[in-house]
Amino acid sequence: MKLRILRLGLSAFTVLFAMVACGQNEDTLKVDKVSTFTNIEVMTDSNNWNELTPEEARVIVNKGTEMSWVGEYVDNHEDGTYICRRCNAPLFNSDAKFDSRSGWPAFDDCVEGAVTEVLDADGYRTEIVCSNCKGHLGHVFKGEHFTDKNTRHCVNSISMKFIAEEE
């Protein structure tokens, strides 16, 4: 019972302070400049960010949503790391990917500190953005019982780039 109260307290805390990075408080967030996951440089300076196509910008900058089932990573089952399309920050590992049958890539965990949760403009969903460049990724849903972690990061393929693990 005590544990349950504690859990309720924690979720209230999460709602109150909507700017919470996945697994980490934003205040303590530090993105490694060179990712240990991919050896690809994470660009902290906005002048160096990757140029976006109009469709990428529609989703990443203007918080749009890719149509379901059309994204290039919906059915990707390869081992590797998904990085931010705009700034190269590693966001999700393929180990956390699962089939949610929703039409968008789903992950039950993220790279520590890489994803920041924000109350969506719609007032009820939780938006997720790249902690480094604040680019729009998608939304996070909790309590759906898809996996033991009970969390679904529902992410637009177009917000990410997949880097296959080297053999």
Q: Which of 81, 94, 100, 132 forms a contact with Zn ion (CB under 5 A)?
A: 132
CA angle 7, 8, 11 (to 5 degrees): 90
Is residue 138 a contact point for Zn ion (CB under 5 A)? no
Is residue 84 a contact point for Zn ion (CB under 5 A)? yes
Which amino acids are annotated catalytic? 154
Q: Which of 43, 115, 133, 160 forms a contact with Zn ion (CB under 5 A)?
A: 133
Which residues lie closer than 8 Å to 94 by C-beta, 6 or more apart?
76, 77, 78, 79, 80, 81, 82, 165
Is residue 129 a contact point for Zn ion (CB under 5 A)? no
Is residue 91 a contact point for Zn ion (CB under 5 A)? no
Stretch that binds Zn ion, among 21-29, 68-76, 115-123, 125-133 (CB under 5 A): 125-133
Is residue 128 a contact point for Zn ion (CB under 5 A)? no
Helix (H) or strand (E) run with residue 3 in it: helix 2-16
Structure tokens at 141: 């849903």
Using the structure block, give the residue that is written with the tokens 């408080």: 25
Binding residues vs Zn ion (CB under 5 A): 84, 86-87, 89, 130, 132-133, 135
